[in-house]
Every structure is written in structure tokens, then in C-alpha cells.
């Protein structure tokens, strides 16, 4: 199978990098740095007071799961429709020029239903239903939802669940990060009653 868009494949197609794979690393730095800094400042204060360290363990688990699902979303196949090799492309172009316009739809029978599929002039394939051509990755993606600029890849039918889990763990991590910051401020304020934060 040929993915000739802006994606790069590794491990025989098991690992697929989007059009901007470095965005995934920058995003991971962006959402991990505040949590690490906050944990480094607040956790020692909690340990000094004999308070529980379970919040640090929870934040560590959330950071691990957030990073795991970020990697799984960014480096997995979103549902890219394979493109034709060059020899088949030329034959397809000549057949299309003889029979019909390239922008026309083609009717196919899928079970008991009649489906309309469109020919993609960029990828030279007939796109299955619910398939959209992504201009960022330059590939047709089945079940295309959107192109995530934060992860640098498309979100499609094959990585949509991973993306939802990434969002759930990221939001939970940031809520815990906010709660840790507020509790740290309250503990510091209780130590020094006359201190103002401003």
C-alpha cells in the first residue's frame, strides 16, 4: 500500500507520522511542563505537613496515560486510504479520460444500498463513503474528523477513540494540576497569615 502524501511510514506501516510530527513533541512539552513544575513545588510542601502523597501518584499516572494516548494518536494510522502506484495511476488516468470526467461521482452497490463515491484527483483513488481528502497531510482519510494541529496528524476512524481518551486524560490532568496549585496556595497562605499574593 502506498501513502504518497506528506506522511512518513515506519515499521511496515504500523507507525505513521503525520505532516508535522514535531508538533506532537512540542505539545507534550506544553502540557507536561506546568504539571511537572507544579508537582515539584507543591509535593514537598505536602510531604512536610505529613499530608498524603496520593495526589502526586495520581498526577504521575495521569501524565503517563496522557503521554501514552498522545503518542498512540499521533503515530498511528488515522484511516489513510492507500494510493495507487505510478503504473496504475497512469492507466487509471487514461481510463478516466476515455470514460468520464475525473470530478464525476461513481455509483456503487454496497449490500442493499446504492452509494455515491467520488474520485480524488490528488490521490487518484475512488474515495469510500465518509472519506475526505486532508490538505495538510495530502491523503484521503476514512472517517475523517479533523486535522489536529497540536498533534500534527489527522484524526480519523482508526485513531478517533485514542484521541478521545487523550482528551479525557489531558483534561483530568489539568483539573488535578489546577487543584494542586490551589491547595498549595491555600497551604502557603495558612503558614503566613499576613502574606499577600499580589
Catalytic residue among 134, 140, 148, 154: 148
CB 107 within 8 A of CB 114: yes
Is 154 a known active-site residue?
Answer: no
DSSP states along 84-146: PPHHHHHHHHHHHHHHS-TTSEEEEEETTEEEEEEEETTTTEEEPTTEEEETTTTEEEET--E
Which is nearest to 4 in space by CA: 91, 98, 88, 115? 88
Which is nearest to 77 in space by CA: 124, 7, 146, 135? 7
What is d(CA 138, CA 131) in angstroms, rounded to the nearest whole number?
13
CB 31 within 8 A of CB 173: yes
In the chain, what is the straight-line distance between the N-terminal and C-terminal CA atoms, in Å? 60
Active-site positions read 148
Amino acid at each position: 500500500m502506498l501513502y504518497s502524501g506528506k506522511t512518513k511510514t515506519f515499521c511496515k506501516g504500523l507507525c505513521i507520522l503525520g505532516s508535522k510530527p514535531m508538533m506532537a513533541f512540542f505539545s507534550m512539552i506544553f502540557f507536561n511542563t506546568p504539571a511537572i513544575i507544579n508537582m515539584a513545588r507543591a509535593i514537598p510542601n505536602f510531604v512536610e505537613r505529613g499530608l498524603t502523597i496520593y495526589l502526586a501518584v495520581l498526577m504521575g499516572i495521569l501524565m503517563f496515560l496522557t503521554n501514552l494516548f498522545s503518542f498512540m494518536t499521533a503515530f498511528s494510522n488515522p484511516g489513510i486510504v492507500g494510493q495507487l502506484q505510478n503504473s496504475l495511476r497512469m492507466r487509471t488516468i487514461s481510463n478516466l479520460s476515455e470514460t468520464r470526467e475525473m470530478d464525476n461521482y461513481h455509483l456503487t452497490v454496497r449490500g442493499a444500498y446504492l452509494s455515491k463515491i467520488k474520485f480524488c484527483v490528488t490521490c487518484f483513488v475512488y474515495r469510500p463513503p465518509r472519506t475526505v481528502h486532508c490538505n495538510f497531510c495530502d491523503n484521503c482519510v476514512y472517517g475523517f474528523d479533523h486535522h489536529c494541529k497540536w498533534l500534527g496528524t489527522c484524526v480519523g476512524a482508526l485513531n478517533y477513540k485514542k484521541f478521545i481518551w487523550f482528551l479525557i486524560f489531558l483534561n483530568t490532568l489539568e483539573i488535578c494540576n489546577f487543584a494542586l496549585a490551589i491547595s498549595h496556595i491555600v497551604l502557603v497562605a495558612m503558614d503566613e497569615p499576613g502574606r499577600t499574593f499580589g
